Homo-oligomer: A and B are copies of this chain.
Amino acid sequence: MIHNNIYFQIELTARKIRQYGQNVLRSHGIDITIEQWLVLNVINDNETTNQIFIGEKLVKDKPTISRMVNQLGKKGFIIKTSSSSDSRQVSLSISKKGKTLIHNLQPIIEGIRLKGLQELSEKESQHIKSILNKIQKNLDT
């Protein structure tokens, strides 16, 4: 049966996490997606980063990053300029509005995180990460 299939459960859990998180953000009237928040965070942790770097961190392809960066720009959370050293590259940084958002989001995101991980022991957390990693490695080769 499909519900006993590990792949199905991984994919379903991923969807439920995204959906729950998105609902919480919406309930706070915050105009950003979970995925966009991840991008914003990479930029926040690495000022003047380019899009390739974000893609490597988040393991997403160039078009996906390009579009999410555009969204974040439209919403005024980031500033996108051309790199002075290499004009192929962009240079991304957080705007004031973006900094405020990140600040306000911290406790909300932490709340989402804790909600899903309730009653998961440290051992279980480590274990699931190691198993997921094993599956990923199996599929990489």
Contacts and interface: CB of A to CB of B under 8 A. Distances in A.
A129 B14 contact: no
B134 A120 contact: yes
- Find the residue from A18, A20, A136, A140 having the highest chain B CB count within 10 A: A136
Complex copy number for this chain? 2
- Find the residue from A13, A38, A59, A125 having the highest chain B CB count within 10 A: A13
A120 B132 contact: no
Interface in A38-74: 38, 41-42, 57-59
A30 interface: no
Interface of A: 2, 4-18, 20, 38, 41-42, 57-59, 113, 115-120, 124-125, 127-129, 131-136, 138-140
